[in-house]
Structure 1
Amino acid sequence: MESSITTMQNPPASKLAAFYELTKPGIVLYVAITAGVGAFVGSRGSLQLWLGFHTILGTGITTAGALALNQYTERDADRVMKRTRGRPIPSGRLSPQSALYFSLALLFSGLMYLTFTVSWLPAVIAAFSALIYEAVYTPLKSRSYGATLAGGVPGALPMLIGWSAATGMLEPAGFALFGITYLWQLPHVLALAWMLREDYRLVGFKLIPRGGGRIIGMHMVTATAALLPTVVSPNILGYTGVWYLAGALLATTYFLVVTIFAARNMTSATARKVFQASLLYHPILLGLMLFDTIRL
């Protein structure tokens, strides 16, 4: 009797956990934090608490909806790849229909929340981000390496969501933060794609350029080298101080060295080192921005 009661009670909890997993909460949290940092720097360290809260929450809800919708769109490919077979839809824990309704509800709720609690401009940018993610990046994945280049745009737009939330406009310094986040993603995604290349080959995803490890290494090095002048731009524009500048240049130089060594002999092990370095690099930059934003 007790066993049957437990069995009856578990499915609702399991389904809630599956919906939660569908949103990729770790990514959602990081994207929301990125938007918060963009708002903080844009406000020159004088961000109002409630504005920051609404910006972070609205960005998080919208991102959760977009990520969940992506899992619905890619459910057939997810059934094939070893890494994704256990996701809520291919594993059978959620039906495609329920996942679709849930993701759309989250996406539109997040956009409405941003519109009414922050302003229309962050909501428009968030909608544009979701559109690129679903209508450009996702279909391009099976057609062209351009998917990786396009996918960096929605990944970097949270900086502009936050910036516009704090300032009510788009400014050069906001685009500088966008550029930093965009360039950081390229070696990050390329390293991951190289490690998962066999899985991606099963479903025909073309997230890495043709030419093998040497070409991929060149792309990684080029993007990371471009970060060196880009990370300086917030200083040039007067938004960050000397501590940010020193830390950003040091972190970027280290990141560049890691990519150069990987490019010399691209293997899963060296790609993993680039990926791990990328996981440290951007949070360090965000922390430096928070610590050393120049207040007026």
Structure 2
Amino acid sequence: MEELRITQINTSEVSVIQDFKEITKMRLSLSVVFSSVAGYLLGVETISWTILLLLSIGGYFMVGASNAFNQVIERDLDVLMDRTKNRPIPSGRMSVSTAFVIAVVFTILGIAVLYSINPKTAMFGAVSIFIYVSLYTPLKTKTPLSVFVGAIPGAIPFMLGWVAATNDFGIEPGTLFMIQFFWQFPHFWAIGWFLFDDYKKGGFFMLPTGKRDKGTAVQVLIYTVWTIVASLIPVFKVTGALYITPVSGVLVGVLGLFLLRYAIKLYKIRDAKTAKQLMLASVSYITLLQIIYVADKFIRVWI
């Protein structure tokens, strides 16, 4: 009997931790923190581990708050979709008030932690939460243009790291923003494609034409090309202190061809399997690109 009671307690604790991870979308939040850290390493002259830690914590709070608010607002729609019906709120494991408190606390802590780095970093963090929650979330059920709006907060983390490092916004963080902004479109349209039927149940408009058709595939191709072009601009030394060597430019170009291959494949085949492959390729692209950018900088410093 005692063993059963201990097992129930342990199971309950695991459930609470799992629900907390889900309401804040921990994996997504950590990927955003990775982008912020990459931006910081690109912008900083001497690494401050304290600021790096604060940026990571503040960035996690920022994204966690946005995700928690999003799930509070969309709770009635999440019930309708297979991929979201088991989230903490629609499943009944977490109350709306609890999720709302988590969102508010994360917002306050996130902005406070980022402010301790510098005011500009906190401002961009606050703007990101506002656009994601107040504009992107309600627009998802009204217009495909929601993806354009959502691409703004989605592109902020990469540039946020540079602003945290320099307390300045100029062409360098603007370029980092542009790269991740264009990248959002093939990434999210690929998700919208292979989850089309599920999104339809919730009334979400994610694809630019509203359909899995040639028009959407063409736009995926166009924005994939823009992503590659934006990623290669720093090779030409026109983006201030943000610069990568021709060798790294070649590596980024190869990555771009890898991404473009799947975008072309989607244009030709236009099925859910290919769209999922493009989504996975896009995740690999942005992660490896950030690693190449950072490695390029520190290799140049060491040499």
The answer to whether the superposition gives a TM-score over 0.5 is: yes
CA distance in 1, matches of 2:96, 2:29: 21
TM score, norm. by length of structure 2? 0.92
Helix, strand or coil: the match of 1:261?
A: helix
Q: Aligned letter for 2:234?
A: P
Which residue is 1:274 aligned to? 278
Q: Quick one: which amino acid aligns to residue 168 of structure 2?
A: M
Match of 2:270, SS?
coil
1:32-47 alignment, distance < 5 Å: 32-43=33-44, 46-47=46-47
Choose from 253, 258, 270 the match for 1:254.
Answer: 258
Q: Indicate the SS of the match to 1:208.
A: coil
In structure 2, C-alpha distance between the alignment counterparts of 1:33 and 1:222, rounded to whole Å: 27
- Indicate conservation of the 8 Å contact 2:40/2:163, yes or no: yes
The structural deviation recorded for 1:228 is: 2.7
Residues 12, 273 of structure 1: CA spacing in aligned structure 2 closer, same or farther, 3 A cutoff? closer
The Cα of 1:239 is off from its aligned counterpart by 2.2
Separation in 2 of the partners of 1:286 and 1:160?
12
Judge conservation of contact 1:214–1:265 (CA < 8 Å) in 2.
Answer: no
Cα distance in 1 between the residues matched to 2:301 and 2:166: 14
1:194 corresponds in structure 2 to 193
Is the Cα–Cα contact under 8 Å of residues 159 and 173 in structure 2 kept in the other structure? yes
Secondary structure at the counterpart of residue 248 of structure 2? helix
Does the 8 Å contact 2:120/2:163 carry over to 1? yes
Read off the aligned partner of 1:127 and give its amino acid letter: A
CA distance in 2, matches of 1:274, 1:7: 42
Instruction: Decide whether the 8 Å contact of 2:40 with 2:165 is kept in 1.
Output: yes
Does the 8 Å CA contact 2:36/2:55 hold for their aligned counterparts?
yes
In structure 2, the CA distance between the partners of 1:230 and 1:8, relative to structure 1 (3 Å rule), is closer
Contact 2:193 2:212 in 1 (8 A): no
- Counterpart CA distance in 2 for 1:31 and 1:5 is 36
Distance in structure 2 (CA, Å) of the matches to 1:5 and 1:151: 44
Q: Aligned letter for 1:34? A: S
Aligned equivalent of 1:155: 154
Alignment partners' CA distance in 1, 2:246 and 2:111: 37
Distance 1:273 1:13 in 2: 32
Structure 1 residue 136 displacement after superposition: 0.8
- How many Å apart are 1:48 and its aligned residue? 2.1
| Structure 2 counterpart of 1:287 | 291
Q: How does 1:224-239 map to 2 (within 5 A)?
A: 224-235=224-235, 236=237, 237=239, 238-239=242-243
The code of the aligned residue for 1:283 comes to T
Residue 243 of structure 1: aligned partner: 247
Deviation at 1:10, TM superposition (A): 3.7
- Which residue is 2:99 aligned to? 99
Deviation string for 1:246-289 (max 9, x for gaps)?
11111112211220121122111211221121121111101101
**5+ long unaligned stretches in structure 1:** none
After superposition, the C-alpha distances for 1:1-27 in whole angstroms (9 at most, x for unaligned) are 322453355434422331222111111
1:16 equivalent in structure 2: 17
Contact 2:80–2:202, Cα closer than 8 Å, also in 1: yes
1:226 Cα deviation from its structure 2 partner:
0.8
Give 1:127-206 correspondences, 5 Å limit: 127-206=126-205
Check the 8 A contact 1:243/1:288 in 2, yes or no. Answer: no
Match of 2:89 in 1: 89
Distance 2:75 2:141 in 1: 14
Distance 2:274 2:11 in 1: 43
Q: 1:234 deviation in Å?
A: 2.1
1:51 aligns to what? 51
Q: Distance in 1 between matches of 2:169 and 2:202?
A: 39
1:273 and 1:7, CA in 2 relative to 1: closer, same or farther beyond 3 A? Answer: closer
Q: Which amino acid aligns with 1:168?
A: N
Distance verdict in 2 for CA 1:244–1:202, change over 3 Å: same
Q: Is contact 2:187-2:278 (8 Å) kept?
A: yes
The total of aligned residue pairs comes to: 294
